[in-house]
Amino acid sequence: MAKRRLTNLIDVSLMTCVIQKGMAETINKSLLELGIQGATVHMGVGTGVRERMGLLGVAVDVEREIISFMVPNDQVERIFERVFIIGRLDTPGMGYLYVTPLVQAATYIPPNLAAQA
C-alpha cells in the first residue's frame, strides 16, 4: 500500500461567488481558462429586496448557485476582478463575491507539480 502524504497549502484563499441560477457554467469555464480547477458548485436559497415585491409584499425564496474555489493569494485580485465582470455582479440582484483567507488547506498535489513548488 502506498504511503499517504499530507500536502499543506499555504498562501491560499477561498473565493465564494453567490450568483443567479444559470451563471455557474459561464464562471466555471472562465476559471478553467485561468487555470483554476476544482470549483465546487452547489445550490442555495435566499431572499433579497427584489423578492419582497411578491404578492402582498411577502418575501419569495429564490434559488442561487454558489461557486467555491481556492486561489493563490498572489492571484486573488486578478481572479476577483474577472469573476466580478463575468458574473455581471455590478448589476443589482445578480449576486455577490467574497474572499476568505485560509489558515490551512490540503488536497492532492501530483508529484511533478509538488516538485516545482
pTM of the model: 0.79
- Phi, psi at 85, each rounded to 5°: -70, -50
Q: What is the pLDDT along the chain (117 residues), one digit of tens a residue?
A: 567 777 788 899 999 999 989 999 999 999 999 888 889 999 998 776 655 555 555 555 578 999 999 999 999 999 999 999 999 999 988 899 999 999 998 887 777 766 776
Domain 11-105 has CATH 3.30.1330.80: no
The full set of domain ranges for the chain reads 11-105
- Residue 47's nearest CA partner among 93, 105, 101, 16 is 93
